[in-house]
Structure 1
């Protein structure tokens, strides 16, 4: 009880509270409407009394209105009627003002109670949101009651909290996977260095072999860090856009790709898109690299560019192992591979997640489909290009 009294006192002493503003609004509106109502009643009563007295003394006929004093009536009758009317109107005015003052005070009190009742869900929501942090973001407002504006607001906040919860969980999962991917090569490096130091019979050849393995591990770590930086840059949005030709970029990527025994086919038509040239090239390179790496001996990779319904499209199709359709979404997440027990020759499962991040940064539409006979069909559709380069302010 004491807590509620203190809370009410804070509301009263703070002029910026919504509850006090609503109370003042209710009270002022009631006082204004009451004053207008009393004024109308006063005028009606005044006119009615004048007409009634005039009829009583034969001043006018029924149905007529008193327009001006009738000088033909005896002076004493006229003065008597006037005094009676003035006294009656004065009493009515005083009593009406007193009634209006009492009802105005009551309206302020009722307005305070009603506004507090209406705003109680907001205070509950405010207290709950203040308690929610990264440690207990799983909590929800779960506001009960009719499906009104306050309930819709609470449901919107709950939806926002759910998305934040999912984003934080994804970020924690990403950090954990990144730490695991970085910790494994560091452990191997430490073991190799320890082995070289403890081996008293190591010669130049064995040390050179150890250094070669350490160099390979260092290169893998460098690729991982570069991929992480690219992923972070893509998720941060674009600072610069210009017109880029997907056909030229795809032709350059295909020209430097080592396909081995795979058939690397290309059908490149001009397709102008708007975006960051370096990131777009990284997107195409990751698609082609993924298609080459996760293929089968003697398979093929098809790279195509063109314009479809005004959108610049690049698609990469490859043969490969059969991929269950329910695994496609997982493969687009960071550090995810089809076979989790294989490290895929130093690759960390970031290629397709980088593709998705770059596509999202360019407002492009990424479509991934598992082919029935094995492999993937990846398609990225970019919005039409803009003519001059432009810088996008953050």
Structure 2
């Protein structure tokens, strides 16, 4: 209806302007009067007929001496009346024609608007029919590349991303339920064992309680990892300056005792590096990379951590020895609850690297991972170039204390 009214209003306005211009052009013309005087001067003598041409108000001069007198003025007035009657008749007929064509144009505008909006109605109906169960459906609009085709392709792209997100969410929920169900089943079994034991002792109770405590700690780590994963996937609210070198130093000092106990060599080459982001998430990223490198390693293995600046961008590279990782399995390890060996009972839930990827995505960084030549993984992360800090954080300029 709005499109039809718009089309009709534009036609009526343009038609009215056209009539006004026509009226001004026709009304601006002047009437002309041509009289031929063929009378003789005297008997036996004659003169050529004289032509008198009068334009508009000049016709009043026809009554002057030596010219055709009042007849010229009467003829001129008659011509004026005829001219005005012609203009009035023209405008009357033009107004009637404008009224008729306005009605026709409104009807045509309604038809054209319906044809233009028909693809939109079809897309709207299809989108309203799509739910979580049939999110795989697409608009699949065919035809030439125009605004409606671009809109349909954009909606199809959105539906594709939504389908991917829903599938990922379903897998995440299923995996989380599986990971939580296993320790709950074990807790139930331990409690049931204590109840059906007819001759319980302090030692059996202590043993069961220690196992329950270990399971509870494992569940706590799982819930904490899930919380960090959801936090990192939410994105950044207020990015702030982050000293990546200082966070790397703290993480290295925290895991060095564990590396020494396992007989692993931990080499850290840390140079000044700054970025903008969330310091808590970035700290967790470094900690998860080191924890993954230490946990999935081999005796007498090594862990190499490199932090610095490359082309004005902060970067971090973590490499470790360990089990050989097939190239086609590298990307899978960065998805939630994915481990190279699903049967391993090492207290890990396969969330460490997925949290790393979520934090990387939240910071707009680039992550590259590949299998190491000596086993394990080589993970390289390059953060975006940070904005100017306007000197508000002087401690982040120059060489940082090691």
Per the TM superposition, whether the score is higher than 0.5 is yes
Pick from 83, 86, 96: which aligns with 1:85? Answer: 83
Q: CA deviation at 1:44?
A: 4.3
Cα distance in 1, alignment partners of residues 330 and 289 from structure 2: 14
Equivalence for 1:31: 12
Q: Secondary structure at the match of 1:70?
A: helix
Contact map agreement 2:59 2:73 (CA 8 A) in 1 = no
Contact map agreement 2:33 2:59 (CA 8 A) in 1 = no
Contact map agreement 1:243 1:388 (CA 8 A) in 2 = no
Q: Secondary structure at the match of 1:256?
A: helix
Cα distance in 2, alignment partners of residues 171 and 56 from structure 1: 99
Q: CA deviation at 1:43?
A: 4.3
Say if 1:232 and 1:82 are closer, same or farther in 2 by CA, change over 3 A: same
Contact map agreement 1:59 1:70 (CA 8 A) in 2 = no
Q: Secondary structure at the match of 1:154?
A: helix
Say if 1:245 and 1:86 are closer, same or farther in 2 by CA, change over 3 A: closer
Contact map agreement 2:305 2:317 (CA 8 A) in 1 = yes
Say if 1:56 and 1:182 are closer, same or farther in 2 by CA, change over 3 A: farther
Q: Secondary structure at the match of 2:322?
A: coil
Equivalence for 1:4: none
Is residue 382 of structure 1 aligned with residue 380 of structure 2? no
Equivalence for 1:354: 355
Q: CA deviation at 1:46?
A: 4.8
Equivalence for 1:220: 218
Q: Secondary structure at the match of 1:201?
A: coil
Cα shift readout 1:4-62 (whole Å, capped 9, x = no counterpart): xxxxxxxxxxxxxxxx22212211221222223233334444566x45x535775539x
- Give ranges in structure 1 of 5+ residues lacking alignment: 1-19, 390-394
Q: CA deviation at 1:388?
A: 4.2
Q: CA deviation at 1:175?
A: 0.8
Cα distance in 1, alignment partners of residues 173 and 152 from structure 2: 31
Q: CA deviation at 1:173?
A: 0.9
Q: CA deviation at 1:115?
A: 0.8
Say if 1:67 and 1:187 are closer, same or farther in 2 by CA, change over 3 A: same
Contact map agreement 1:242 1:275 (CA 8 A) in 2 = yes
Q: CA deviation at 1:353?
A: 0.7
Cα distance in 2, alignment partners of residues 291 and 170 from structure 1: 26
Equivalence for 2:33: 54
Cα distance in 2, alignment partners of residues 56 and 281 from structure 1: 107
Equivalence for 2:246: 248
Equivalence for 2:272: 270
Contact map agreement 1:317 1:378 (CA 8 A) in 2 = yes
Q: Report how many aligned residue pairs link the two structures.
A: 363
Q: Secondary structure at the match of 1:142?
A: coil
Cα distance in 2, alignment partners of residues 152 and 134 from structure 1: 24
- Where do residues 97-112 of structure 1 align in structure 2 (5 Å cutoff)? 97-112=95-110
Pick from 337, 340, 358: which aligns with 1:338? Answer: 340
Q: CA deviation at 1:182?
A: 0.2
Cα distance in 2, alignment partners of residues 368 and 306 from structure 1: 18
Cα distance in 2, alignment partners of residues 321 and 279 from structure 1: 28
Say if 1:363 and 1:87 are closer, same or farther in 2 by CA, change over 3 A: same
Q: CA deviation at 1:97?
A: 0.9
Cα distance in 1, alignment partners of residues 33 and 143 from structure 2: 61
RMSD: 2.2
Q: CA deviation at 1:227?
A: 0.5
Is residue 136 of structure 1 aligned with residue 134 of structure 2? yes
Q: Secondary structure at the match of 1:72?
A: helix
- Find the structure with the greater CA-based Rg: 2
Say if 1:75 and 1:267 are closer, same or farther in 2 by CA, change over 3 A: same
| TM-score for the superposition, normalised by structure 1 | 0.86
- Give ranges in structure 2 of 5+ residues lacking alignment: 37-50, 63-71, 394-402
Equivalence for 2:397: none
Contact map agreement 2:4 2:109 (CA 8 A) in 1 = yes
Q: CA deviation at 1:310?
A: 1.3
Query: Higher relative contact order by CA 8 Å / sep ≥ 6: 1 or 2?
Result: 1
Cα shift readout 1:223-259 (whole Å, capped 9, x = no counterpart): 0001011111111223444433222222222222112
